[in-house]
Chain A
Amino acid sequence: MHYLMKFTLVTFAVAVVLGSLTLLPSRAQEAAEPAVATITLYCGRSAALVEPLVKRFTEETGIRVELRAADTAQLALALTEEGNRSPADVFWSQDSGTLGQLASRGFLDKLPATTLDRVPEAYRSDEGSWVATSGRLRVLAYSPQRVKEADLPKSVFDLTDAKYKGRVGWAPTNASFQAFITAMVAMHGEEKTRQWLLDMKANQAKPFPKNTALVAGIANGEIDLSLPNHYYLLRFKSADARYPVEQTQFEKGDIGNMNNLSGVGLLKTSKNKDAALKLIDFLLSSEAQQYFVEQTFEMPVTRDRIATPAAMPDLHEALDKLPAVNLNKVEDLEGTQKLLREAGLI
């Protein structure tokens, strides 16, 4: 045989065999394992933050959890493309908007009433297709050196005032911010929201890529106020107690105090719904809720009484200040992005 022919075919065969060999171990491993209940959790939340909790679930129930963590949007895309072949049993989303999207596309099963009833009505889907696991409050972060308490705005709508010109940071491309805008549309309508966006832009609000940058921007002196989620500052403070940023909320009922929900849904493709439901119930147990409060600095959502550490916004006060917005309506992300595009913000 021609030399070059042999050479090419041999190297190509080696490439094919080498790559394909990697198919073997996973198969063998699965075959070797005893029949323990195993579920696959698609997790849009940070693996580093939730892994300890998932481990705890396995210890308590003996149910093994295959944790597949990625971006919430990535997992939603994967679920969309996987269709009926999805290996996933449970989808845990960073934000309720994506859950709403998946529910409206028919991917999620109805949850039993016993599960849904563990949270107040505001924290679950109207159709019962998802339930919240924890919340992240929208807050106003500010520099205590450069903003006097009396000068703090009462409402997020006050930030368009000339006295805040060029001093406010926001993150138009960030998912939490977009969820907040969706909620604003649900509460105040598209016109008022569009006007607020344009006024903020005219007031020279500075764009930042994400929440951590919004907090750091204040410490760096680039801005004096910003609109992040509540728990990033707590992380900065736990690394450095003297971190020169504080946060507060707007007046009672203001949309700027919105609670961004992280939630969980049961997939129709699940092959082990009993075990999957046990995991969902576990995430609503007081043990898990306590974990969120203490470890990830999030707000609890169940009816149980959960003690919040001193650094956290006071739970009852925060709940009292929440805007009256139906979070089930907070799923029109495409509409929000269209609005932001039209305003020239993204």
Chain B
Amino acid sequence: MASPPVLKPRRPPLPWYLVVPAVMCGLGVAGPMAYLVVRALSIESDELRRILLDPRNLALLGNTLLLCLGVLVVTLILALPAAWLTARTDLPMRRVFALGMVLPLAVPGYLMAFSLLSLGGYVGAVAKVTGLVMDEPIRIAPIRGFWGALIALSLYNFPYMLLNLRAAFLSLDPTLEEVGRSLGRTPARVFVSLVLPQLRPALVAGGLLVGLHVVADFGVVHLMGYHTFSFALYERYSAVDVPGMAWFGLMMIALAGAMIALELWLLRGLRLHRVGSGVARGRAVSRLGWWKAPAVLFLLSILCAGVVMPTATTVFWLFEPTFASAGQLRDKLTDAVGDSVTAAALASTVAVLLALPVALLASRYPSKRALSLERLAYMGYATPALAFALGLLVVSISVDRLLVRSGETWFYQSLAVLVYGYALHFMAEAVGPIRAALFHATPRLEEASRALGHGFVRTSWSVTLPLLRPGLLVSLALVFLSVMKELPLTMLLRPTGFTNLAYELWDRTNERLYADAAPFALGILVVSFVFVGALLVGESALERKKQ
């Protein structure tokens, strides 16, 4: 007997103009992953058995998960109060703090680890500040291993959590809490039972970025001597063992895939927007009263650890004699600032533009297929940068092989491939904030504008872009900061002769040329601070004009 036909609600078909760009981005991300698969398949079976059955993998997996969990907990402990304080209270200089809390993102991981390690010890910052450089070493052992990695990673990753939580706090409808309180619940219970569930999407989105970052990190865990999966990848790579490297790359991607699946599971069936008529009221402000001083102190100490400490370390370096002459360093610094800013500005713009269709698709046509395209962007982010760069290297040189008969390189080692490499790798950072902004932007407004007879340009300029602006700016800032400190993509894909601040810093610290490295470290920090500052100041100026 035939079963009765089941009526399924028909979903609207996905529009091609969103699917085509999104699929193209997806292919850009999938290309490097396909490279890993191809190289992984070329491995000899004995070697494969050794890699897969190595009991060390379990230890590495355990280490990686433990560190992920630790960093998630610490970033949450730092970000949750900081987000609430800067979003929902009468904290003095709220905007300044909100800006300051983003700045640790500008600090390259290896610089953070390095300054943490050099706090104690013979030439450590503590010794320098107190003037206690003596023949007897000062017995403040540097923090290493798990705890060192935990602190360093948390200090510069917590802004991902904070940005998401703060946006969520700002958009929370205070009516809900008032209802809770009017029903006689204590503020603590209101927070736990009503506010926290509302924060779930933000927590999950921030947590995912932080988690993926920890999995992919090499700079910090290497300096701290804590072995995670990325360590095994780098070890294969240092032996120029491509198939072995590809297998560890794929294992890391699988781990990231599991985290993304966990995210989707945590967000299943979530519906948080208002139903019914009426609009959400503006933000509610809690009065801090006597708590102002401890609150300010809390935020200041985060800033001290995350921004002042690494900056101070590099300033100390300036007092040593340099290897190169001041003139040589100045010329190099000028080149590196120029190249860094060019690449970061281009890449962040391209990343945001590429992220738009992906975010639009995921927010306006939420279906399995649309979401899986969006998740692909996260996979690109989760692919270890070194493997991603090698994948793009092979893709771009293959294009050259096909198109350029003369044997010259056109695409390979061109700025274009570097810019697309950055943009595709960091697209995930751009998708999130744009999606969040789209949440508030209903398509009706654009339709209204068109109905009023406004043309395409005017509607885009005066309706769509302003609605998306907060999200676009955060996306731009996040990708810009990431590009400023990126290393493996830069080193493998850059045009010969192109340099940037991150590379020059890394190169000099490696050779223990700290005084020579200092200007480049400060360069990264200053350029990033100025860029983020300009974005946020511009944003608040526009905000005021609107009012």
Q: Enumerate chain A interface residues (CB-CB to B < 8 A).
A: 2-12, 14-15, 18-23, 25-27, 40, 46-49, 52, 66-71, 73-74, 76-78, 80-82, 85, 87, 98, 101, 145, 173, 175, 178, 207-210, 212-213, 216, 219-222, 232, 235-236, 238-240, 242-244, 295, 333-334, 337, 341, 344, 346
Given A4-B17, A12-B21, A216-B122, A20 contacting B416 (CB threshold 8 A): yes
- 292-349 of chain B: CB within 8 A of chain A: 320-321, 323-324, 328, 346, 349
Shortest Cβ gap from B55 to chain A (Å): 10
Taking a contact as CB atoms under 8 Å apart, the answer to whether B446 and A239 are in contact is no
Complex A-B: 9 CB contacts under 8 Å: A8-B17, A8-B357, A49-B511, A73-B237, A210-B510, A216-B123, A220-B137, A221-B121, A235-B511
Report A-chain residues with C-beta under 8 Å of the C-beta of B138: 221
Taking a contact as CB atoms under 8 Å apart, the answer to whether B237 and A22 are in contact is no
Taking a contact as CB atoms under 8 Å apart, the answer to whether B240 and A8 are in contact is no
Chain B 491-520: CB-based contact to A (< 8 A → 1; otherwise 0): 110011101000010011011111110000
- B189 proximal to A (CB < 8 A): no
Report the bound CA distance from A202 to B357 in whole Å. 58
Report A-chain residues with C-beta under 8 Å of the C-beta of B394: 81
Taking a contact as CB atoms under 8 Å apart, the answer to whether B346 and A22 are in contact is yes
Report B-chain residues with C-beta under 8 Å of the C-beta of A21: 416
Report B-chain residues with C-beta under 8 Å of the C-beta of A80: 240, 242
Report A-chain residues with C-beta under 8 Å of the C-beta of B240: 73, 76-77, 80, 98, 101, 333
Report the bound CA distance from A52 to B338 in whole Å. 21
Report A-chain residues with C-beta under 8 Å of the C-beta of B360: 4, 8
Report A-chain residues with C-beta under 8 Å of the C-beta of B242: 77, 80-81
Given A4-B17, A222-B141, A240-B123: 17 more A-B contacts, CB < 8 Å? A3-B450, A4-B15, A12-B356, A18-B353, A25-B415, A48-B507, A66-B496, A67-B497, A69-B507, A77-B242, A78-B390, A85-B409, A87-B413, A173-B222, A173-B235, A219-B122, A238-B321
- 385-403 of chain B: CB within 8 A of chain A: 386, 390, 393-394, 397, 400-401
Report B-chain residues with C-beta under 8 Å of the C-beta of A243: 122
Shortest Cβ gap from A55 to chain B (Å): 10
Shortest Cβ gap from A239 to chain B (Å): 4
Taking a contact as CB atoms under 8 Å apart, the answer to whether A40 and B496 are in contact is yes
Given A23-B415, A48-B324, A78-B492, A3 contacting B447 (CB threshold 8 A): yes
Report B-chain residues with C-beta under 8 Å of the C-beta of A145: 135-136
Segment from B99-107, B157-165, B197-205, B456-464 that makes contact with A: B456-464
Report B-chain residues with C-beta under 8 Å of the C-beta of A178: 238
Chain B 417-431: CB-based contact to A (< 8 A → 1; otherwise 0): 001100100000000
Report B-chain residues with C-beta under 8 Å of the C-beta of A101: 240
Shortest Cβ gap from A160 to chain B (Å): 22
Report the bound CA distance from A221 to B488 in whole Å. 34
Taking a contact as CB atoms under 8 Å apart, the answer to whether B323 and A216 are in contact is no
Taking a contact as CB atoms under 8 Å apart, the answer to whether B235 and A334 are in contact is no
Q: Enumerate chain B interface residues (CB-CB to A < 8 A).
A: 15, 17-18, 21, 54, 56, 117, 120-124, 135-139, 141-142, 222-225, 227, 231, 235, 237-242, 320-321, 323-324, 328, 346, 349-350, 353-354, 356-357, 360, 386, 390, 393-394, 397, 400-401, 407-416, 419-420, 423, 443, 446-447, 450, 456, 459-460, 464, 488, 491-492, 495-497, 499, 504, 507-508, 510-516
Shortest Cβ gap from A164 to chain B (Å): 19
Taking a contact as CB atoms under 8 Å apart, the answer to whether B353 and A4 are in contact is no
Report B-chain residues with C-beta under 8 Å of the C-beta of A23: 410-411, 414-416
Taking a contact as CB atoms under 8 Å apart, the answer to whether B414 and A22 are in contact is yes
Taking a contact as CB atoms under 8 Å apart, the answer to whether B237 and A209 are in contact is no
Taking a contact as CB atoms under 8 Å apart, the answer to whether B239 and A333 are in contact is yes
Report the bound CA distance from A74 to B124 in whole Å. 32
Taking a contact as CB atoms under 8 Å apart, the answer to whether A219 and B121 are in contact is yes
Report the bound CA distance from A98 to B240 in whole Å. 8
Given A48-B511, A85-B400, A334-B239, A220 contacting B121 (CB threshold 8 A): yes
Which of the residues A40, A98, A207, A236 comes within 8 Å of B512, measured between beta carbons?
A236
Shortest Cβ gap from B404 to chain A (Å): 9
Report B-chain residues with C-beta under 8 Å of the C-beta of A69: 507
Report the bound CA distance from A46 to B390 in whole Å. 21
Question: Please, which residue of chain A has its CB at the minimum distance from the CB of B490?
Answer: A70
Shortest Cβ gap from A35 to chain B (Å): 15
Taking a contact as CB atoms under 8 Å apart, the answer to whether A220 and B122 are in contact is yes
Interface centre among A2, A145, A213, A220 (most CB of B within 10 A): A220
Report B-chain residues with C-beta under 8 Å of the C-beta of A242: 135
Which of the residues B56, B401, B460, B512 comes within 8 Å of A7, measured between beta carbons?
B460
Report A-chain residues with C-beta under 8 Å of the C-beta of B224: 209
Taking a contact as CB atoms under 8 Å apart, the answer to whether A209 and B225 are in contact is yes
Report the bound CA distance from A243 to B536 in whole Å. 45
Report the bound CA distance from A282 to B499 in whole Å. 25
Report A-chain residues with C-beta under 8 Å of the C-beta of B508: 46, 48
Report the bound CA distance from A25 to B237 in whole Å. 33
Taking a contact as CB atoms under 8 Å apart, the answer to whether A235 and B450 are in contact is no
Taking a contact as CB atoms under 8 Å apart, the answer to whether B412 and A220 are in contact is no
Report the bound CA distance from A173 to B239 in whole Å. 11
Shortest Cβ gap from A92 to chain B (Å): 14
Taking a contact as CB atoms under 8 Å apart, the answer to whether B390 and A77 are in contact is yes
Given A4-B360, A5-B17, A48-B507, A175 contacting B238 (CB threshold 8 A): yes
